[in-house]
Amino acid sequence: MDSEDGLQLVQSVPGFKTRGMLICVSGPSGVGKGTVIAQLKEIMPGLAHSVSLTTRSPRPGEVDGKDYYFCTKERFEELLEEDAILEHDIYVGNYYGTPRQAIEEKVSEGQDVIMDVTVPGSLAILYKYEQACSIFLLPPSLSVLRERLEKRGTETSDIVNSRLLKAVDEVEMASKFDYIVINQDKRKAAEEIRHIIYAEKLRQARRSGIEQMILKR
């Protein structure tokens, strides 16, 4: 293991460069994607996190440019027209989307990027980037999910109910994903995702040509 900086996660050879990997994490609202990703970034500080655009209002404590880029519906639609958004979805009445330029720059620099997106968002990324890796985060039970959504206390009960209804549909899409991680414990979930990333970095398809470099050494 060379370092944890995200550019050089696994043993390699000097001069062998790979493109960064996109790691899409989906799962029902309230499952703890944000918390698990924050934990993952603690143990893998070099991992880049894609900051999405959204038209929903900031929750207390959320910071523009860190949690999301908050914008109006009109601005979002302008960016869509300009093709500045890699994928987008409408979730419970609001637009959410991934800014294209930042992601493409990071990936071409060889940096791995983790993205927290809806199920259709992950499927759109997988369609565009066949080497992207997809992870579905599940709650240990539906009742735990309800509890987490209610505890958050940032949404009205109507919104909690629509998010729960949507959760059932989303969970049924888990079979479309490469990996399933259960978020019973955020540390274990982050650890499991770290192992997934390591294994994915070692795939032959991501290291194609390394054997030729080794033969010349």
Residue type, 6: G
Three-state SS for 164? helix
- Beta carbon of residue 9, minimum distance to ligand 5GP (angstroms, whole number): 24
Name which of 9 and 124 has its Cβ closer to ligand 5GP.
Answer: 124
Name which of 44 and 149 has its Cβ closer to ligand 5GP.
Answer: 149
- Residue found under tokens 């194609």: 208
- Beta carbon of residue 138, minimum distance to ligand 5GP (angstroms, whole number): 13
- Beta carbon of residue 6, minimum distance to ligand 5GP (angstroms, whole number): 20
User: Of 122, 119, 102, nearest to 50 (Cα)?
Assistant: 102
**Per DSSP, what are the bridge partners of residue 137?**
181
Using the CB atoms, write b or e for 133-160: b if 16+ within 10 Å.
bbbbbbbeeeeebbebbeeeeebeeeeb
Name which of 18 and 29 has its Cβ closer to ligand 5GP.
Answer: 29
Name which of 9 and 36 has its Cβ closer to ligand 5GP.
Answer: 36
| Interaction site with ligand 5GP (CB under 6 A) | 29, 33, 52, 56, 87-89, 91, 96-98, 116-118, 121
Name which of 44 and 85 has its Cβ closer to ligand 5GP.
Answer: 85
- Beta carbon of residue 190, minimum distance to ligand 5GP (angstroms, whole number): 16
207's tokens: 């290291």
- Beta carbon of residue 158, minimum distance to ligand 5GP (angstroms, whole number): 15
Residue type, 3: S
- Beta carbon of residue 200, minimum distance to ligand 5GP (angstroms, whole number): 20
Name which of 21 and 88 has its Cβ closer to ligand 5GP.
Answer: 88
134's tokens: 């997809």
Q: Is the dihedral of CA 21, 26, 29, 35 positive or negative?
A: negative
Measured distance between the N- and C-terminal CA atoms of the chain, rounded to whole angstroms: 20
Q: Is the dihedral of CA 5, 197, 43, 40 positive or negative?
A: positive
Cα–Cα distance, 145 to 136 (Å, whole number): 15
